[in-house]
Structure 1
Amino acid sequence: MRIDGQPRTRWVDQPAHRSRRPDLRLGPRDTRPDRAGATATGRLSATHTVRTSTAEYTLFLNAPHELGRRAVGEALRDAVAELRAIDLTYGPNRPDSLVSRLRRGEISPESYPPLADLVDRCAAMRAATDGWFDAWAVPGGFDPGGLLGGWAVEQAAARLRAAGVTDYAVLTGADLVVRGTAAHGGPWRVAVHHPTDSRRAPLVLEMTAGAVGTSGVTGRQGHVVDPHTGEPADQLVAATVVGPDLAVADAYATALYAAGPTGLAWFRADSEYRALFAHRRR
């Protein structure tokens, strides 16, 4: 669902009905959510879509009636405000953002604790991926874009939890975070479509906590650069990673897209993260 102009919230309050249809879909063809199913008895659901300068986000909330529509609405506004604030404050393409000021040497990461967290996460993912995710190996210096979107979603999700909303999904493009249960009362059913073969049935995940990060499914070639050569990555057509945290899953997906099959070695049997798709170009 795409909403232009002022974001809207759709409320659903219906008798319980358990559906086996996917609640969310990810993939290259149609990443819009399925039409909302029914709501479990005693639950209040809301859907809200907002666009920032760089991305569109859809939030799905499923809260107990006793929390009240006012509290759920305030939780939504707080989460949306967080997404917009991160876009304004950290966007690499904004000349007055903290990231741009850091590039120019005007501030240090320690000046702002959230910026220090963002830099530390980028450094940790550079180490975890043998340098294939490298926020410093880009023109102009530091660019956290490979995990900034996932980091923003996780920050907004933390706002929801702080407001007492523990059952939600946040979708942006082909990335998502889920927690708790869907509106029908069961786990979130996420259909992940194959990135190149539309004839294949989607892989359906049932999730109560976790994230799915993707790179390459938008069809934009050249948007991920091999940090070792500076040339656009061209080994894979798409990479999809699932795990607990979207910022980490996003970074892994970006690095896997750049590294190609070599990157599969990062996902050991005891790892919290695993690759769902890593398909070569033909």
Structure 2
Amino acid sequence: MHRVEHVMGFPVSLRIDDEGDFAAAADAVFAWLREVDARFSPFKADSEVSRLGRGELAEADVSADLRHVLDLCEHYRAATGGAFDVRLPGRGLDPCAVVKGWSVQRAAELLTRAGARRFCLNAGGDVAAAGGPWRVGVRHPEHADKLCTVLDLTDAAVATSARYERGDHIVDGRTGLPATGLLSLTVVAGSLTEADSVATAAFAMGADGVDWAASLPGVEVFAVDAERRVLRSPGFPVAAAGASAA
């Protein structure tokens, strides 16, 4: 099965290589992601996040899902000394950096419960994979038609934070200024919840974020800094020479 839909502002592709009928599971995946977009988007005026950000909803009254997301946001704010912050002055509440990975990981778990054992769920370049190895290309931070590395991903997730798609959109909460110490940072972890959150949090920290992310248990990092130097943790799963991305 291969299916692609545009959800949450980016293309989401699902590939399942198992035998069997997974149409209902795929329907559930995309229905869940559409629900997340409606409930958690800061760009939709009637979403739960927007209502909380405007003070129309008390934190004590938020849903269990949003409470979990906010707890994750606070965890990474504290862990980065405030570099990662979803409540920046003048920008309102924006937990997208956590919501994306968390929601896609939940979607991957829906597939697992439905019996899928080998699949690749790609949400705008962030990937949750079961089985494998899946070969995943990491885009060059300055050349859209090139890759800077290819990795082998097995029962894991990978996420990249970078400046090439949305410019200097990640802000260092300690200074209120755009984070410009890195061009791109890719994180491999056991879940996309962690990979996506850590990638954004580390990027907000600048060059110091590479060592911070690499020090986390089960996390591997590949980064290109502002001086075009490549930084890579020893266990980053680079594919064999000559491999191409799937």
TM over 0.5: yes
Are 1:216 and 1:239, in contact at CA under 8 Å, matched by a contact in 2?
Answer: yes
Q: Indicate whether 1:273 and 2:240 are aligned.
A: no
Residue number in structure 2 paired with 1:21: none
Which protein shows a greater Rg?
A: 1
Counterparts of 1:102 and 1:257, CA distance in 2: 26
Residue number in structure 1 paired with 2:179: 233
Counterparts of 1:52 and 1:267, CA distance in 2: 28
Are 2:8 and 2:33, in contact at CA under 8 Å, matched by a contact in 1?
Answer: no
Residue number in structure 2 paired with 1:177: 128
Cα 1:241–1:74 shift into 2, 3 Å: same
Cα 1:209–1:95 shift into 2, 3 Å: same
Residue number in structure 2 paired with 1:258: 204
Q: Secondary structure at the match of 2:203?
A: helix
Q: What is the one-letter code of the residue matched to 1:48?
A: R
Q: Indicate whether 1:55 and 2:20 are aligned.
A: no
- Select 1:90's aligned residue among 40, 53, 74: 40
Give the CA deviation at 1:86: 0.3
Matching of residues 38-77 of structure 1 within 5 Å: 46-64=1-19, 68-69=20-21, 72-77=22-27
Cα 1:201–1:48 shift into 2, 3 Å: closer
Counterparts of 1:149 and 1:269, CA distance in 2: 23
Are 1:118 and 1:144, in contact at CA under 8 Å, matched by a contact in 2?
Answer: yes
Residue number in structure 2 paired with 1:80: 30
Q: What is the one-letter code of the residue matched to 1:107?
A: A
Are 1:212 and 1:242, in contact at CA under 8 Å, matched by a contact in 2?
Answer: yes
Counterparts of 2:94 and 2:147, CA distance in 1: 36
Cα 1:129–1:278 shift into 2, 3 Å: farther
Are 2:187 and 2:220, in contact at CA under 8 Å, matched by a contact in 1?
Answer: yes
TM-score by length of structure 1 reads 0.73
Residue number in structure 2 paired with 1:213: 159
Counterparts of 1:199 and 1:95, CA distance in 2: 36
Q: What is the one-letter code of the residue matched to 1:226?
A: D
- Select 1:141's aligned residue among 88, 92, 101: 92
Give the CA deviation at 1:198: 8.0
Residue number in structure 1 paired with 2:193: 247
- Give the gaps of 5 or more residues in structure 1: 1-45, 182-186
Residue number in structure 2 paired with 1:165: 116
Counterparts of 2:69 and 2:216, CA distance in 1: 26
Q: What is the one-letter code of the residue matched to 2:83?
A: W
TM-score by length of structure 2 reads 0.83
- Select 1:155's aligned residue among 99, 106, 112: 106
4+ aligned runs moved over 4 Å, structure 1 = 197-202
Cα deviations by residue, 1:181-226 (Å, 9 ceiling, x for unpaired): 3xxxxx2122334434789875332222111111115343221112
Cα deviations by residue, 1:34-60 (Å, 9 ceiling, x for unpaired): xxxxxxxxxxxx111011242210011
Are 1:132 and 1:259, in contact at CA under 8 Å, matched by a contact in 2?
Answer: yes
Give the CA deviation at 1:140: 4.3
Cα 1:254–1:62 shift into 2, 3 Å: same
Q: What is the one-letter code of the residue matched to 1:244?
A: G
Cα deviations by residue, 1:1-22 (Å, 9 ceiling, x for unpaired): xxxxxxxxxxxxxxxxxxxxxx
Are 1:129 and 1:252, in contact at CA under 8 Å, matched by a contact in 2?
Answer: no
Supply the RMSD in Å over aligned alpha carbons. Answer: 2.3
Q: What is the one-letter code of the residue matched to 2:76?
A: M
Q: What is the one-letter code of the residue matched to 1:151?
A: W
Q: Secondary structure at the match of 1:267?
A: helix
- Give the gaps of 5 or more residues in structure 2: 229-246
Cα deviations by residue, 1:126-154 (Å, 9 ceiling, x for unpaired): 12222221112253432101122111211
- Select 1:125's aligned residue among 61, 76, 79: 76
Matched residue count: 227
- Select 1:192's aligned residue among 113, 118, 138: 138
Residue number in structure 2 paired with 1:33: none
Cα 1:268–1:140 shift into 2, 3 Å: closer
Q: Secondary structure at the match of 1:84?
A: helix
